[in-house]
Amino acid sequence: MGTPLPLGWKSLNIDRYDGSSDPNEHIDAYVTQMNMYTNDDALMCQVFPTSLKGPTLTWYTQLPTGSIDNFETLMRRFTAQYTTSRPHHITSAALANLKQGENESLRNFMERFANTSIQMRNLNPEVALHSMLMALKPGPFVDSLC
């Protein structure tokens, strides 16, 4: 805590974290801003609590004295504490559960399908096509795809 801040230090230009969003996004924003000034481990730890607010700041202030020996340890403890705030990733099961509604237009269904599929990591195009074919109600479009 005794490490002086660099000359010309300014407050970070990031939203202070309250525990309600992805902790990894906060870490990425924090590290990106800090790297404009320094990558010194002691400073990274020293400035981190200024990026917190509300219950996360309370969590930080209640860490046992001497329990953080470097920035990596702090980040591990932080992400473990707020891991439930991470977004859940959509899997191919979400596509398998999609069905075109009886009165739903093809355009509306395709928009809904596209919005779901773009949220998936490493979606196999064959899985996407199969899921789409299974989800569409029978008709000329499905016949032409087959």
Spell out the SS3 assignment of the chain: CCCCCCCCCCCCCCCCECCCCCHHHHHHHHHHHHCCCCCCHHHHHHHHHHHECCHHHHHHHCCCCCCCCCHHHHHHHHHHHCHHHCCCCECHHHHHCCCCCCCCCHHHHHHHHHHHHCCECCCCHHHHHHHHHHHCCCCHHHHHHC
Listed in sequence order, the residues at least 6 apart from 26 whose beta carbon sits closer than 8 Å to its beta carbon are 14, 17, 51
Q: Per-residue pLDDT tens for 91-132?
A: 778 888 899 998 999 899 999 999 888 888 788 888 888 898
User: What local confidence, expressed as pLDDT, does residue 87 receive?
Assistant: 66
Same domain, 61 and 103: no
- Place 1 in a pLDDT band, splitting at 50, 70 and 90: low
Whether residue 1 is contained in a domain is answered as no
Q: Per-residue pLDDT tens for 74-101?
A: 999 999 999 888 766 777 788 888 999 9
- Backbone conformation region of residue 8, classed left if phi is above 0, alpha if psi is from -120 to 50, else beta: left
User: What local confidence, expressed as pLDDT, does residue 26 receive?
Assistant: 95
Same domain, 57 and 96: no
Same domain, 100 and 75: no
User: What local confidence, expressed as pLDDT, does residue 6 receive?
Assistant: 75
Q: Per-residue pLDDT tens for 36-61?
A: 888 899 999 999 999 999 999 999 99
Domain residue limits at 106: 92-145
User: What local confidence, expressed as pLDDT, does residue 88 receive?
Assistant: 66
Domain count along the chain: 2
Same domain, 58 and 75: yes
Whether residue 139 is contained in a domain is answered as yes
Whether residue 111 is contained in a domain is answered as yes
Whether residue 100 is contained in a domain is answered as yes
